[in-house]
Amino acid sequence: MKKSLIIGAVSAAALAFSTPSACAQIQKGEKSFGPKIGYVSHNKSAVAGLVFQYTFSQPLRISPEIGCAFRNNDEDAFLVDLNFHVPFGIVDSEKVAIYPLAGLAFNSWSRHGVKPDEADDVDVTTHTNRFGANLGAGFDLRCSSTLRLNLEAKYTLIKSYSALYLTAGISYVF
């Protein structure tokens, strides 16, 4: 099972870096910053965060992210991702782009309400810190030269905490 997941992740990363040419809207040195919100499947709750993106070559963009999964079912999380995007245009459009993504993830999940001894009436929180991998795709819509909207779906592969993340974001492009 582990071997097939690793082979799948490497194949997806190779596919991501062999996509068609980048669209005209993505320029080397372009940066963007903004919030995003969405849904996380692990604890079936909302997720929110901040995203910075930097295009260091025309077809390749790096996207560090920080966020949190809100508390539900006595679990919440602190999330850090470092993803790579390869945006390319759809039908020669300068306003619309799709991108595959691949990257690294660090999640710190907290479980609340765990009682070590039934006689104690103390709320104990336990933390589980894990590293993993992200695979997914996104859609960018350039509203103006300084405003971009995006939708993204990614799956994070982490032992015991794998989850699907569906998010929408708005970014200031500079």
Q: Convert the pLDDT of each residue in 54-97 to its tens digit.
A: 998 878 999 999 999 999 989 999 999 999 999 988 766 778 99
Q: Within 13 Å and on the Cβ side, how many CA atoms surround 113? A: 6
Q: Is the pLDDT of residue 1 over 80?
A: no
pTM (2 d.p.): 0.80
Q: Convert the pLDDT of each residue in 131-173 to its tens digit.
A: 999 999 999 999 999 999 999 999 999 999 999 999 999 999 9
Higher pLDDT: 30 or 117? It is 30
List strand residue ranges (DSSP E) for 121-162, in order.
124-144, 147-157
3-state helix, strand, coil split of the chain in percent (to 5) is 10, 65, 30
Assign a CATH topology to domain 2-173: Porin (2.40.160)
Average pLDDT of the chain, as a whole number: 85
**Amino acid sitting at position 89:** G
Write down the domain spans for the chain. 2-173
How confident is the model at residue 58, as a pLDDT?
79
Residues 6+ apart with CB under 8 A from 31: 52, 53, 54, 55, 173, 174
- 64, 99, 111, 113 from 72: Cα distances, Å: 25, 31, 10, 12
Higher pLDDT: 155 or 23? It is 155
Task: Give residue for tokens 């030269």.
Answer: 145
Cα–Cα distance measured from residue 87 to residue 22, given in angstroms and rounded to the nearest whole number: 6
